């Protein structure tokens, strides 16, 4: 057991005030933990546009008492539809109303800043200490905790430090020392008033992803249907050639020249003053170093194809707080649970789950961007899938596991080689289960 921290000092310091950091801070504060969040920016906020939050996340929001607020700010779409970006043919779909019935909670889309704001307000109500302009540059192990050093030379200590400082995490660099991995793909985003796109052949009530050779395009409504979110992703020839500053607007335009009319009409609306080079890291097995724990993108930054990046960070915090609460029940009065035991339980379940998501996201990216005959084979498998087949979503959309024995079984991949060629332009599959359901989750 661990003695309570000094009055006025936090039990936990969370480094990073993004969705993962605030979600973790709130989850712990609900259990009576004194939490301090350090954000390097001058104010708490998020940059970006839309997020998709699947039932494994809305289930947690419901437990937190935040789902109604999320519903009021987001959109609950009717379907998720995958189309071929070249000819616009529908390949497969998920009925999201039926999906909600299956998993008990909705599939939602929401503006990233709105979800961040929900957690920020929840942290304020819960008494979390929120500090801005606090750049952490160093970490140090202590006998019963950890110490962080800030850019101004000051230090802070706590029994536990959670590093939720993103893809380019200082803690990850110091404790693991690995490098980010470039996918050579880049994402452009835009959220525009619905009136600007109504004549573009869009589907306002669906999440639509057009998958094409070395590119894809995502569309869905935001903020009660008043806004429309678009994401354009493509492989950068400049990145493949090893050039700096890759992913420029001229590459954006060239990448989508051969796509269908709906996609081509959307490309001019993309924000052109910013873009996101798509990177991840290799999965690692050790997230806990003494009393310093990696969380969110600092531990498992994924490519965006599964739409699980923010969700995994929220799940991390929920699992960490859940094990704290479980062990608190047996802790003697006046003491805190053993943080080492809490961290061991957290790491035991989250590492494998997030490894699966990272590696599956890479596979979906390859699947979406196929060209030539492999594209046609993929389409044949997608077309064979039944709308109400959930073989490829049960492992990810079900309840978040708190222990390894609760982790759902992975799906069985369907190889492209299972598709046979009938004639010059036709492919067929004997299978009816397809590969498409989980692949429909989009950035």
| Span 118-124, average pLDDT | 98
pLDDT of residue 1: 41
Q: Tell me what pLDDT residue 16 has.
A: 98
Count other Cβ atoms within 10 Å, centred on residue 97: 13
> What pLDDT score was predicted for residue 443?
42
Q: Determine the pLDDT at residue 431.
A: 44
Q: How far apart are CA 313 and CA 55, in angstroms?
A: 15
Instruction: State the chain's mean pLDDT as an integer.
Output: 93
pLDDT over 50 (residue 2): no
Grouping H, G, I as helix, E, B as strand and the rest as coil, residue 158 is: strand
pLDDT (average), residues 167-180: 97
Unique residue bearing structure tokens 């999965």: 283
CB-based contacts of 258, cutoff 8 Å, min separation 6: 86, 212, 213
For 338-359, the pLDDT digits (tens) are 999 999 999 999 999 999 999 9
Catalytic residues: 220
CB 158 within 8 A of CB 10: yes
Beta bridge partners of 81: 93, 208
Q: What is the pLDDT of residues 51-98, one digit of tens each?
A: 999 999 999 999 999 999 999 999 999 999 999 999 999 999 999 999
Q: When comparing pLDDT for 413 and 291, which is higher? A: 291
Residues 6+ apart with CB under 8 A from 165: 15, 16, 21, 40, 136, 171, 172, 298
441 compared with 164, residue with greater pLDDT? 164
pLDDT of residue 167: 97
pLDDT of res. 433: 37
Spatial contact of 13 and 161, defined as CB atoms under 8 Å apart: yes
Residue 421 pLDDT more than 50? yes
Cα–Cα dist 357/307, whole Å: 10
Q: In 290-417, which ranges are E strands?
A: 292-294, 335-336
For the question of whether the overall pTM of this predicted structure is more than 0.85, the answer is yes
Nearest residue to 441 via CA among 383, 397, 387, 381: 397
């Amino acid at each position: 057991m661990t003695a309570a921290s000094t009055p006025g000092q936090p039990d936990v310091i969370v480094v990073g005030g993004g969705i993962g950091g605030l979600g973790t801070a709130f989850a712990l504060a609900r259990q009576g933990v004194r939490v301090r969040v350090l954000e390097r920016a001058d104010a708490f906020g998020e940059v970006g546009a839309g997020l998709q939050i699947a039932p494994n996340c809305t289930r947690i929001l419901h437990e937190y008492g935040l789902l109604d607020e999320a519903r009021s700010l987001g959109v609950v779409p009717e379907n998720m539809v995958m189309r071929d970006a070249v000819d616009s043919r529908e390949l497969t779909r998920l009925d999201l109303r039926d999906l909600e019935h299956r998993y008990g909670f909705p599939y939602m889309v929401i503006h990233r800043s709105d979800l961040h704001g929900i957690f920020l307000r929840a942290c304020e109500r819960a008494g979390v200490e929120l500090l801005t302009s606090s750049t952490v540059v160093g970490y140090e192990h202590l006998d019963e905790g950890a110490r962080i050093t800030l850019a101004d030379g000051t230090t802070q200590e706590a029994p536990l430090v959670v590093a939720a400082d993103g893809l380019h995490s200082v803690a990850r660099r110091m404790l693991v020392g690995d490098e980010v991995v470039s996918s050579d793909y880049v994402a452009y985003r835009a959220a525009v008033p619905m009136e600007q796109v109504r004549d573009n052949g869009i589907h306002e009530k669906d999440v639509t992803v057009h998958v094409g050779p070395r590119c894809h395009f995502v569309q869905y409504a935001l903020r009660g249907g008043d806004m429309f979110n678009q994401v354009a992703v493509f492989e950068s020839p400049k990145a493949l050639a090893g050039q700096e500053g890759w992913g420029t607007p001229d590459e954006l335009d060239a990448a989508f020249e051969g796509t269908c009319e709906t996609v081509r009409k959307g490309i001019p609306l993309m924000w052109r003053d910013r873009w996101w080079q798509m990177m991840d890291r290799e999965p690692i097995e050790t997230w806990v170093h003494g009393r310093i724990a990696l969380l969110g993108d600092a531990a498992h930054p994924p490519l965006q194809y599964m739409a699980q990046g923010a969700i995994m960070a929220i799940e991390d915090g929920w699992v960490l707080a859940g094990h704290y609460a479980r062990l608190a029940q047996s802790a003697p009065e006046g003491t805190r649970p053993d943080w080492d035991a809490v961290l061991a339980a957290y790491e035991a379940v989250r590492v494998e789950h997030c490894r699966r998501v990272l590696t599956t996201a890479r596979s979906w990216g390859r699947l979406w961007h196929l060209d030539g005959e492999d594209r046609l084979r993929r389409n044949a498998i997608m077309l064979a899938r039944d709308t109400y087949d959930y073989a490829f979503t049960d492992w990810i959309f079900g309840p978040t596991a708190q222990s390894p024995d609760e982790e759902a079984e992975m799906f069985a991949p369907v190889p492209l080689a299972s598709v046979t060629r009938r004639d010059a332009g036709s492919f067929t599959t004997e299978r009816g289960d397809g590969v498409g359901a989980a692949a429909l989750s989009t950035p």
